[in-house]
Structure 1
Amino acid sequence: MPSQPTFAPHSSSTLRLPRRGPLLDTKSHIVVVGAGAFGGWTALWLLRAGFKVTLVDAWGPGNSRASSGDETRVIRSTYGDNETYFDLNVRALELWREHQHRWNKSLFFNTGVLWFCYEESPSMIEATEPFMAKHQLSYQYISVKEAAKLYPHIHTKDLHHLVLDPEGGYLKARESCQAVQEALVRGGGQYKMALVKPEAIEKGRLEAVILSDGSTLEADAFVFACGSWLGRLFPEVLGDIITCTKQEAYYLGVPASHTSLFDTMPVWIDLDGQDFYYGIPGNAYRGFKVGVDKRGELFDPTHGERISNPEVLAKARAFMAHRFPALQNAPLVESRVCPYENSPDGNFILDTHPEADNCWFLGGGSGHGYKHGPALGELAAEIITGKRDLENLFRIR
Structure 2
Amino acid sequence: MTGSGPADVTRRSLLIGAGGAAVSAPAIVPAQRLGSAPQVTVVGAGVFGSWTAEQLRRRGARVTLVDAYGPAHSRASSGGESRMTRAAYGKDDIYTRMALASLAEWKTLSAAAGLPIFVPHGVLMLFPREEQYFLDTMAAHRRLGLPTQALGPAELARRFPMIDMTGIAVGTYEPGFGALMARRAVQTLVGRFLASGGSFEQRKFQGTSSLAPSDHLVLALGPWLPRVLPGLLRGRIVATRQEVFTFAPPSADARFTPAQMPGWADFNGGDLFYGFPDLEGKGVKFARDTHGVEVDPDRNDRRFTDAALAAVIAFRDRRFPLLRGAPLATSEVCQYENSSNGDFLIAPHPQDAKVTLVGGGSGHGFKHGPEVGRLAAELVLDGKQPDPRFGLATKSNVQKREVI
Instruction: Give the TM-score normalised by structure 1.
Output: 0.87
One of 365, 377, 380 as aligned partner of 2:361: 365
SS in structure 2 at match of 1:285: coil
| Distance in 2 between residues matched to 1:340 and 1:391, nearest whole Å | 22
**1:78 aligned to 2:72?**
no
The answer (yes or no) to whether the contact 1:129–1:138 under 8 Å persists in 2 is no
The answer (yes or no) to whether the contact 2:151–2:172 under 8 Å persists in 1 is yes
| Structure-2 change in CA distance of 1:314 and 1:209 (3 Å) | farther
Counterpart in 1 of 2:166?
157
| Structure 2 letter corresponding to 1:312 | A
| Structure-2 change in CA distance of 1:100 and 1:267 (3 Å) | same
1:190 CA drift (Å) = 0.8
Counterpart in 1 of 2:304?
308
1:225 CA drift (Å) = 0.5
Counterpart in 1 of 2:256?
262
| Distance in 1 between residues matched to 2:140 and 2:114, nearest whole Å | 31
One of 231, 235, 260 as aligned partner of 1:236: 231
SS in structure 1 at match of 2:139: helix
| Distance in 2 between residues matched to 1:80 and 1:166, nearest whole Å | 17
SS in structure 2 at match of 1:180: helix
| Distance in 2 between residues matched to 1:138 and 1:315, nearest whole Å | 34
1:26 CA drift (Å) = 4.4
SS in structure 2 at match of 1:132: helix
Counterpart in 1 of 2:320?
324
**Identical counterparts, % of pairs:** 35
| Distance in 1 between residues matched to 2:263 and 2:279, nearest whole Å | 10
| Distance in 2 between residues matched to 1:225 and 1:373, nearest whole Å | 12
| Structure 1 letter corresponding to 2:101 | R
| Distance in 1 between residues matched to 2:36 and 2:91, nearest whole Å | 38
Counterpart in 2 of 1:280?
276
One of 329, 333, 340 as aligned partner of 1:333: 329
| Structure-2 change in CA distance of 1:220 and 1:118 (3 Å) | same
1:102 CA drift (Å) = 4.1
Counterpart in 1 of 2:295?
299
1:337 CA drift (Å) = 1.4
Counterpart in 2 of 1:378?
374
| Structure-2 change in CA distance of 1:209 and 1:336 (3 Å) | farther
1:306 CA drift (Å) = 0.8
SS in structure 2 at match of 1:246: strand
Taking the TM superposition and a 5 Å limit, the aligned residue runs for 1:184-195 are: 184-195=193-204
Alignment RMSD (CA, Å): 1.6
One of 53, 67, 71 as aligned partner of 1:61: 71
1:187 CA drift (Å) = 0.9
| Structure 2 letter corresponding to 1:73 | R
The answer (yes or no) to whether the contact 1:111–1:166 under 8 Å persists in 2 is yes
| Distance in 1 between residues matched to 2:269 and 2:318, nearest whole Å | 17
Taking the TM superposition and a 5 Å limit, the aligned residue runs for 1:27-46 are: 27-46=37-56
The answer (yes or no) to whether the contact 1:26–1:49 under 8 Å persists in 2 is no
Taking the TM superposition and a 5 Å limit, the aligned residue runs for 1:26-175 are: 26-103=36-113, 105-119=115-129, 121-175=130-184
The answer (yes or no) to whether the contact 1:196–1:209 under 8 Å persists in 2 is no
| Structure 1 letter corresponding to 2:340 | P
| Distance in 2 between residues matched to 1:344 and 1:49, nearest whole Å | 32
Counterpart in 2 of 1:227?
222
| Distance in 2 between residues matched to 1:362 and 1:26, nearest whole Å | 25
The answer (yes or no) to whether the contact 2:227–2:234 under 8 Å persists in 1 is yes
| Structure 1 letter corresponding to 2:136 | A
| Distance in 2 between residues matched to 1:389 and 1:297, nearest whole Å | 33
Counterpart in 1 of 2:242?
247
Deviations 1:298-323 (A, max 9, x none): 11111222111211111111000100
| Structure 2 letter corresponding to 1:245 | T
SS in structure 1 at match of 2:392: coil
The answer (yes or no) to whether the contact 2:138–2:150 under 8 Å persists in 1 is no
Q: Which moved more, 1:158-167 or 1:222-231?
A: 158-167
| Structure 2 letter corresponding to 1:225 | A
1:161 CA drift (Å) = 2.6
| Structure 1 letter corresponding to 2:167 | D
| Distance in 2 between residues matched to 1:95 and 1:130, nearest whole Å | 25
SS in structure 2 at match of 1:196: coil
Deviations 1:68-127 (A, max 9, x none): 0111000000111112111111101121122223446521111111111100x2222210
Deviations 1:46-89 (A, max 9, x none): 11111111001111111110000111000000111112111111
SS in structure 2 at match of 1:256: coil
SS in structure 1 at match of 2:87: coil
| Structure 1 letter corresponding to 2:238 | T
Counterpart in 2 of 1:19?
none
Instruction: Give the TM-score normalised by structure 2.
Output: 0.85
The answer (yes or no) to whether the contact 1:247–1:295 under 8 Å persists in 2 is yes
**1:342 aligned to 2:338?**
yes
User: Number of residues paired by the alignment?
Assistant: 358
One of 286, 289, 300 as aligned partner of 1:290: 286
1:353 CA drift (Å) = 1.6
| Distance in 1 between residues matched to 2:360 and 2:223, nearest whole Å | 8
| Distance in 1 between residues matched to 2:159 and 2:232, nearest whole Å | 51
Counterpart in 1 of 2:14?
none
| Distance in 1 between residues matched to 2:201 and 2:302, nearest whole Å | 25
**1:181 aligned to 2:177?**
no
Counterpart in 2 of 1:18?
none
Unaligned stretches of 5+ in structure 1?
1-23, 199-207, 211-215
Q: Which moved more, 1:140-149 or 1:370-379?
A: 140-149
| Structure 2 letter corresponding to 1:224 | L
The answer (yes or no) to whether the contact 2:128–2:269 under 8 Å persists in 1 is no
Unaligned stretches of 5+ in structure 2?
1-32, 394-404
Deviations 1:252-298 (A, max 9, x none): 111115x3111230101001243211001121010000122111211
